[in-house]
Amino acid sequence: MTVEGPLLGRATRIARVLAKHGLQDRRSDESTRERARRLRTALEELGPTFAKLGQVLSTRPDLLPPEVVEELASLQDRVQPLPEAEVVAVMEEELRVPWEDVFAEIDAEPLAAGTIAQVHAARLETGERVVVKVQRPTARDEIMRDLGLFRLFAEKAGDRPAFRDLLDLPLVVEHLSASLERELDFRQEAANIERVTRIVAPYRRLGVPRVHERLSTARLLVLDEIGGMPVREAPAGEARLEAARELLDAYYLQILGEGFFHADPHPGNLRWWEDRIWFLDFGMVGEVEPRVRALVLLVLLAFWREDAAFLGELLVILAGEDAPADVDMAALEDDLARFVARFRVGSLRDLQLGPMLEGLMEIGLQHGIRAPASLALAGKAFAQVQLTVAELDPTLDPFAVFNRRVVRGLVDQALSGLDPQRALYEAQKLRLRLTRLIDAFERVTGARPGPRLEVHFRGTQPLERRLDLLARRLALAGTTGAAIIASGVTAASSHAASWVPTTFGVVAGLFGALLLMDVLRRSR
């Protein structure tokens, strides 16, 4: 592959900077922290576009070691503000009319200036105060040029130890391309704003600025101006405490319910105004697919139950087809048990939900298990929200909020005679394990494509007796679980006679006892 013209000069410049910072070869006695620091300084020297690339990478703890994520998070895309004439030129090109036909005034001094855009305060002809996000005229060309060179660099240097030990370059390039393409189209950000607006509409202490759709395009975004103060400076009082609870609850809803969330809720993107928390900057959002949402719910419940063994199973299931076949489950469980023990606390100041998920993924990676990218982004968002909520209300119990949002919602505040959390948790745990057993059996018989399960028997019992034993225990376990769930549901119903849940409870107890007797008899 060849590079010609201006690209050649840029490529030469990149190579020179990387060599200057010693990133072409790995030093045998060098720590990951030191290599991460040199990578950050090289990206800063290469200019605003590469600084932006580093910022995007800092949101992916599943792709990079923690030391690299921490270093890249400190990158700043420092750029000179655009001259007023260039700002006006872009606005008029997008609006297709003179700016005076739309705006009564535009502040010449930008509120913020970055690699992709800069933001100005303005007032519409109607008198409404707004903020205008204007894309830099050269942003797309510069970013696409550097992305092309980054791909070329990944091809040439991706196998060098200095980079291979730090990150998976092809995966990084793929992620960067997708993220920056979305950020370059402000219509995508407008759609993100509208979607988050619908999600947080029920919360009276949360707000999202309104998009002026008539004035917004792919390179121009006009929003209502949000005044107020930084969220951490919110005055003490009932509104502040309510807002803290609603902010945490809204993130449970976004991530576990809707599967769509504001992915960069650091304090700079949250404002306190009119007794509400307002979300700003929707360029970065996350989406969690339904399968992962259901498993994350079980992960949180398993943490609450301190069930390290089941957490290990969930990590393997989350990895899906990418899960290694030779995971040492005993060692994984030991690592998880020690990790879970650190979170035996009751207040939000001590219990950090983001680090909890991030720590889980880090342990998984140590055992060759890579969690979905959406979970990594959700963990980072949870971590940022936790810091803000802890300052607003240090006494707030996150699992109390979780209980109201998820558990009670799922069982409709029912199961009055039982522990709803435990019943739901055990039922979901049983269902998941039965599903995995059925999947494995279908692969054995060839009913499902994929690698066949290898079964190694010890002892002299014939295969037929083994299968018969497995089928009997599955039937007993399935009947017991179904009876437990039926008992709970009918107990919560106002239409079922009192003897119905009792009968189901007796059936559950009977079949559970039969299963226990069978296990004890066979283990002798």
- Strand, helix or coil at 126? coil
* 158: number of Cβ within 10 Å: 15
264 in active site: yes
d(CA 373, CA 378): 9
Residue matched to tokens 């299968």: 467
- Strand, helix or coil at 276? strand
Q: Check 77, 146, 264, 307 and give the catalytic one.
A: 264
d(CA 208, CA 198): 9
- The pLDDT score that the predictor gives to residue 155 is 72
d(CA 469, CA 241): 56
Give 322: exposed, middle or buried? Use CB within 10 Å, 0-12, 13-18, 19+.
exposed
- The pLDDT score that the predictor gives to residue 37 is 85
Calculate the CA 508 to chain-centre distance: 38
Nearest Cα to Cα of residue 132 among 209, 241, 43, 52: 209
d(CA 274, CA 95): 31
Listed as own residue / partner, the contacts of 24-31 with beta carbons closer than 8 Å and 24 or more positions apart are 24/157, 24/160, 24/162, 25/160, 25/161, 25/162, 26/160, 26/161, 26/162, 26/165, 31/67
* 40: number of Cβ within 10 Å: 21
Residue 223 pairs in a beta bridge with 131, 211
Structure tokens at 13: 């410049």
Looking at this protein, which amino acid is placed at residue 499?
Answer: W
Instruction: Please give the C-alpha separations between residue 67 and each of 63, 71, 317, 375, 487, in angstroms, as whole numbers.
Output: 12, 6, 27, 19, 50
Structure tokens at 132: 């205008």
**Contacts of residue 261, Cβ cutoff 8 Å, sequence gap at least 6:** 196, 251, 254, 255, 285, 286, 288, 378, 381
Residues of the chain with pLDDT under 50: 1-3, 345-349, 408-418, 444-445, 447-448, 452-453, 455, 457-461
Residue matched to tokens 């759709």: 213
Residue 119 phi, psi dihedral angles, 5° rounding: -120, 135
Residue 106 phi, psi dihedral angles, 5° rounding: -135, 125
Nearest Cα to Cα of residue 107 among 89, 131, 134: 131
The phi-psi region of residue 4 (left if phi > 0; otherwise alpha if psi is between -120 and 50; otherwise beta) is: beta
- The pLDDT score that the predictor gives to residue 326 is 84
Question: Dihedral (C-alpha) 168, 172, 173, 178: value to the nearest 10 degrees?
Answer: 150
d(CA 474, CA 437): 9
- The pLDDT score that the predictor gives to residue 444 is 47
d(CA 279, CA 233): 15
Looking at this protein, which amino acid is placed at residue 211?
Answer: V
